[in-house]
Amino acid sequence: MAIPTERTERERREETFEQKLAHLRATPEERARILASRPPFDYDAWEREAGPATPEELAETEEFLRQREEERLRSLASEEERLARPGE
């Protein structure tokens, strides 16, 4: 009886994930070789290419920062409350 050799979608996704992680397991020499083969990231060129943020992007960023600040303040209050309770 023949066994199908076609890979499943999950196997293909896992392989892709493994390929993405492969550089993390590279030796220092391999990483140096890979990095030397690529030009350094040019932030100024990227910024020119990306252009200024749109009003929608700015609004999304402001909302994210507002939510993050609320989360930070809740976390600080929770930590202060925990520390203020005696015997814990």
Q: How far apart are CA 37 and CA 26, in angstroms?
A: 15
Residue 6, pLDDT score: 65
pLDDT tens, position by position, 14-69: 677 777 777 677 788 988 888 888 888 899 999 999 999 999 999 999 999 999 99
Q: Which domain holds residue 19?
A: 10-84
Residues 34/23, Cβ–Cβ less than 8 Å: yes
Is residue 1 domain-resident? Answer: no
Q: Residue 3: pLDDT above 60?
A: no
pTM for this one? 0.47
Q: Count of domains in the chain?
A: 1
Q: State the DSSP string of 18-29.
A: HHHHHGGGS-HH
Is residue 5 domain-resident? Answer: no
Task: Tell me how far the alpha carbon of residue 14 is from its chain's centroid.
Answer: 18
